[in-house]
């Protein structure tokens, strides 16, 4: 008994001891050891939610308890159309993708979860297996379940059929051995030609030497068709943005050229699927070895698309013939409302740029065009700048690293003086020289609308580069645009 306690405190402490006969070490110990019936029922509902989901029938307070205690491992078939609370889907996303950004998914955690879940499923889908019918049915069931929540689909890889995937190759290190010469072999036959056996031995020896020098043999022309992506797109009616790459990531020592093929059948599957997606506004097919023939196939199925606004075919093998096919999408009679065309790092040359020039003169829809890393040279660039004298809708043009020289600065300066609709022009990585920088600066002084003129790595000198940047800053301030650092 502690000294200095009042009689009331002593009586209260004695009462506590009589009620609490076991003094536990847990400070939160309480007499209410038996949970209420409501708590027991809610815990049971959480435990059996995967087998027998009950959610809509509960009141708001009980639904909140279910959401806060529901594990993230519950199959989405039980939660897709029942759980709409963002807090639950945020827990699911953070557990699977700690670095995900929901800003790329309409600022919705639920939409982010379903879009990334469908993308991962399709990226790991292996076609042409023994149970292919069952896997296809499972894929369709998943897509139907997620259809209302998928508007953006980003496929970073597509796997080829299982029976064509390469096995790891181990190369033995070739060691040179000294073989004693017993007798010289016959050098030639009666006609003066090498003997057949000797010729075969020379071919085998040269093959072994090339392998020992580290030269890879020529890739075999193996046709590897991926799964019909059109079947997947058919079950995603709300899809608005699609990005696909026909390759296999992280192959390591299992590298084989067959893993990076975009076959004609794949192109037909994709083009037909995109044609069915009437709400699709953005299509990106990058790093997929898309050539002229496949570009013509895309044009065949896209020429009547009612809503396509962005077409990105960067890092492919599209040449002048492919550009002629895609250029028809920009014709003034085309029904495609294409506003952005990106053909960076392809095989476009002078002929392709000369074909695009007259089409741009009559086009009234396109706002951004990128031909970066294509050798269109001065003649091709001149055709584009001549078109811009009449085109008043294009606002962004990228001709970075297009093998332009000083000869292109004269038409560029003329466009800067007369065209006020072009606000962003990228001509970096082209050797213009100081004289070309002077022409660019003189043209820019007469253009109050230009806000971006990229002249980095153009050898125009620090003086003209500083003056151009100062002029651009003045134009941005006059338009109320904050300059970026």
pLDDT above 60 for 170: no
Euclidean distance between CA atoms 236 and 2, whole angstroms = 75
pLDDT above 60 for 422: yes
* CA neighbor of 296 nearest in space, from 256, 255, 267, 257: 267
pLDDT band per the 50, 70, 90 thresholds, residue 100: confident
Strand order of the β-sheet with 241-244 is 152-155, 241-244, 282-285, 310-312, 340-342, 368-370, 396-398, 424-426, 452-454
Count of residues in the chain: 485
Instruction: Provide φ and ψ at 283, rounded to 5°.
Output: -130, 125
Query: What would the pLDDT profile of 335-353 be if each residue is shown by its tens digit?
Result: 999 999 999 999 999 999 9
Instruction: Provide φ and ψ at 339, rounded to 5°.
Output: -110, -20
Specify which residues 284 forms β-bridges with. 243, 312
**How much is the pLDDT for 181?**
46
Rounded (10°) CA dihedral 439, 442, 448, 449: 0
**Contact call for residues 384 and 353 (beta carbons, < 8 A):** yes
Query: What would the pLDDT profile of 3-62 be if each residue is shown by its tens digit?
Result: 567 776 766 666 555 555 555 566 666 666 677 899 999 999 999 999 999 999 999 999
Query: What average pLDDT does the structure give for the chain?
Result: 85
Euclidean distance between CA atoms 234 and 143, whole angstroms = 9
**How much is the pLDDT for 258?**
84
Instruction: Tell me, yes or no, if the pTM score tops 0.75.
Output: yes
Euclidean distance between CA atoms 360 and 222, whole angstroms = 40
């Amino acid at each position: 008994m502690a000294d200095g306690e009042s009689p009331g405190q002593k009586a209260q402490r004695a009462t506590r001891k009589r009620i609490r006969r076991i003094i536990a070490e847990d400070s939160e110990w309480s007499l209410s050891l038996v949970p209420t019936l409501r708590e027991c029922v809610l815990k049971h509902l959480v435990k059996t939610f995967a087998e027998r989901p009950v959610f809509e029938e509960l009141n708001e307070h009980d639904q909140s308890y279910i959401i806060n205690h529901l594990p993230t491992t519950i199959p989405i078939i039980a939660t897709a159309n029942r759980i709409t609370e963002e807090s639950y889907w945020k827990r699911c996303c953070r557990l699977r993708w700690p670095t995900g950004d929901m800003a790329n998914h309409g600022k919705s955690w639920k939409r982010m979860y379903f879009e990334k879940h469908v993308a991962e499923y399709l990226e790991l889908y292996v076609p042409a297996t023994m149970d292919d019918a069952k896997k296809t049915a499972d894929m369709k069931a998943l897509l139907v379940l997620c259809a209302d929540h998928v508007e953006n689909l980003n496929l970073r890889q597509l796997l080829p059929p299982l029976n064509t995937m390469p096995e790891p190759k181990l190369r033995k290190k070739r060691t040179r051995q000294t073989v004693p010469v017993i007798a010289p072999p016959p050098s030639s036959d009666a006609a003066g030609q090498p003997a057949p056996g000797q010729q075969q031995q020379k071919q085998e020896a040269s093959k072994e030497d090339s392998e020992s020098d580290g030269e890879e043999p020529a890739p075999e022309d193996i046709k590897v068709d991926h799964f019909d992506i059109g079947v997947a797109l058919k079950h995603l009616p709300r899809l608005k943005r699609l990005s696909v790459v026909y390759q296999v990531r992280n192959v390591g020592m299992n590298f084989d050229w067959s893993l990076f093929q975009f076959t004609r059948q794949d192109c037909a599957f994709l083009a037909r699927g995109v044609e069915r997606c009437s709400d699709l506004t953005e299509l990106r097919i990058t790093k997929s070895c898309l050539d002229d023939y496949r570009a013509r196939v895309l044009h065949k199925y896209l020429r009547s698309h009612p809503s396509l606004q962005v077409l990105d075919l960067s890092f492919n093998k599209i040449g002048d013939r492919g550009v002629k096919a895609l250029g028809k999408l920009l014709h003034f009679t085309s029904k495609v409302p294409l506003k952005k065309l990106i053909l960076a790092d392809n095989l476009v040359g002078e002929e392709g740029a000369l074909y695009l020039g007259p089409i741009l003169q009559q086009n009234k829809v396109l706002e951004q065009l990128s031909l970066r890393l294509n050798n269109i040279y001065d003649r091709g660039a001149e055709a584009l700048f001549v078109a811009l004298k009449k085109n008043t809708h294009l606002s962004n043009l990228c001709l970075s690293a297009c093998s332009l020289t000083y000869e292109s600065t004269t038409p560029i300066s003329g466009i800067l003086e007369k065209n006020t609709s072009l606000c962003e022009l990228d001509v970096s990585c082209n050797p213009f020289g100081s004289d070309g920088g002077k022409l660019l600066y003189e043209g820019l002084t007469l253009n109050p609308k230009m806000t971006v003129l990229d002249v980095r790595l153009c050898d125009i000198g620090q003086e003209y580069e500083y003056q151009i940047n100062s002029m651009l800053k003045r134009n941005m301030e006059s338009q109320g645009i904050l300059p970026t650092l």
